[in-house]
Amino acid sequence: MNIVNVDYDGLIPNNVGLNSDPRVKAALEKWHPGYINWWNDMGPEGFQQALVYLRTAVSVDPKGWAKFDYVKMPDYRWGILLAPQVQERKIAFGAHKGQAAWQEVPGEYRAMLRRLIVIQGDTEPASVEQQRYLGKTAPSLYDLRNLFQVNVEEGRHLWAMVYLLHKYFGAEGREEADELLQRRSGDADTPRMLGAFNEETPDWLSFFMFTFFTDRDGKMQLEALAQSGFDPLSRTTRFMLTEEAHHMFVGETGVGRVIERTCSEMKKAGIDDPSNLAAIRKLGVIDLPTIQKKLNLHFSLTLDLFGNEISTNAANAFHAGVKGRFQEDKLSDDHQLEGGKYPVLRFLDGKIAAEETSALSALNMRLRDDYAKECVSGVERWNKIIERHGTPFRLTLPHVAFHRHIGEFAKINTDPAGKLMSGAEWEKRKNEFLPSNTDRDYIEGLMKPEMTPGKFASWISPPKVGIDNKPGDFEYVKMAG
Ligand code: BYC
């Protein structure tokens, strides 16, 4: 079996030797039509027949794994791609540290592993569902193509998890794989599993914020799963991470281009005051205070995805060697953390304060802290754009206690600086911190499609370089008919 190049001959492209595994091959081929039905029903609305300039993975070699070409999305070759096996890989943490990585699921961790794989799998189709109407209001063909690239790769990430369920979890795994196609983002009866994946993505600024903040949670969770002692999970998440990088690029540069346009139009019009919304909105751009509100919303929704501050689930998964820390293999402690401590922000005696907590129970927070550090760096890169234009404004991340629905801070209200406020005060002031109906209506009003090659909507700057180095007026999406 060639583990670097992908076998494209069968119905399901793969580098896992599916042809010599008839049971799993048959199970996946049975699952395939349901997936295509789901894609046709819940994938990008109105563009299923368009030709889209997409990258498809043709190898898992870190250098040059993708091939670009026009493809109709339902014909995209969703495949099962595992990063090459590391010979003699050892479990890097927890009670089994130093033992050989598992090639089969250890019986005692079966339920735990299945749950983590199902949660990971559930987020992938959820995001496609959340983004399904965005194509109709794309600010350019470049952005439209990027949206669809993200969507087809989230579809592939679903395949990655479904492969593990079919291959390693028997009848239960097959049932879970079927249910992944049945839940729907935002549905009252059969919602997706995690809160942020049931929210709407109503406009492109939300899409860019989502791909910056929420896909970055994806990255952190995948990094933690890539450390897993269960080798097939480690290998599959390692390859997913190489695709994920583009999604965060779309988010970071997307928001950056919105900021760029706002600041340069303000300058041209001679507007110095970023809070002069009436004048700024007349220019057809998104004012910086509203960008800050969107940032507050998406950062806080994403923090909920890290779970509770104190979590026995997280402690158990680490102890078991099933889910590690961010870059576990680069850390220099004992990788067991049995007696270790970690400071966790909590709400105690009416105040928000750090408390030394068992390092094992605090693993969700450790990952969240690593996540927040990356977010700070990204926000600083956005601030550099604002500074370059000399606009007197700075974007900031809100406090971790702000607008939370999971964990310690779900029961309190704070402003973005983390200052406590009563429920009544929150109700009165929340539109200062989060997008109001007026803000949403304004942004929605800007969301007019721009489908001419090389042209961009009023509220966003063109990118610095094209995808696959294509020129500015490249026709990234060719409409059907
Ligand atoms: N919503 O002990 P706790 C991505 C539940 S994004 C609803 O703190 P744990 C992507 C929890 O399930 C990454 N429920 O939980 C991005 C538990 O319930 P049960 C997705 C929640 O396990 C963009 C109970 O509360 N991958 O890939 O430590 C586009 C006790 O909580 C939530 C993963 O998340 C919530 N937010 O932490 C596309 C990795 N939070 O079971 C894709 C896999 C907690 O007791 N998941 N609960 O009834 C995990 O590692 C963990 O399950 C979690 C939660 C971090 C999610």
Instruction: Give the pTM.
Output: 0.97
For residue 306, the ligand 1 atom closest to its alpha carbon is 55
Is a pLDDT exceeding 60 seen at residue 466?
A: yes
Q: Is the pLDDT of residue 1 over 80?
A: no
Count CB atoms within 10 A of the CB of residue 268: 9
Distance 418 CA to ligand 1 centre (A): 24
Span 252-281, pLDDT tens digits = 999 999 999 999 999 999 999 999 999 999
Which tens digit of pLDDT belongs to each residue from 204-228? 999 999 999 999 999 999 999 999 9
Q: Ligand 1 pocket check: which of 120, 158, 236, 313 to mutate, most ligand atoms within 8 Å of Cβ?
A: 313
- Please, is 372 exposed, middle or buried when counting C-beta atoms within 10 Å of its C-beta (0-12, 13-18, 19+)? middle
For residue 462, the CA-to-ligand 1 centroid distance in Å is 36
pLDDT of residue 76: 95
Nearest of 350, 418, 481 to residue 51 by alpha carbon = 481
* Cβ(262)–Cβ(458) below 8 Å: no
- Residue 15 DSSP symbol: S
Which residues neighbour 347 within 8 Å (Cβ) at sequence distance 6 or greater?
401, 408, 409, 411, 412
- Residue 404 CA to ligand 1 centre (angstroms): 14
Pocket test for ligand 1, best of 208, 308, 366 (most atoms within 8 A of CB): 308
Helix (H) or strand (E) holding 66: strand 66-72
Q: Which residues line ligand 1 (CB under 6 A)?
A: 116, 119-120, 123-124, 127, 154, 194-195, 214-215, 217-218, 221, 304-308, 311, 313-314, 323, 364, 406
Largest CA distance in the chain: 68
- The residues with which 230 forms a beta bridge, in sequence order, are 102
Expressed in angstroms and rounded, the spacing between residue 194 Cα and the centre of ligand 1 is 6
Ligand 1 binding pocket mutation candidate from 130, 207, 234, 305 (most atoms within 8 A of CB): 305
Please say whether the dihedral angle defined by the alpha carbons of residues 394, 399, 405 and 406, taken in this order, is positive or negative: positive
DSSP letter for each residue of 222-252: HHHHHT-SBHHHHHHHHHHHHHHHHHHHHHH
For residue range 369-393, list pLDDT tens digits in order: 999 999 999 999 999 999 999 999 9
**Adjacent-strand bridge partners of 68:** 55
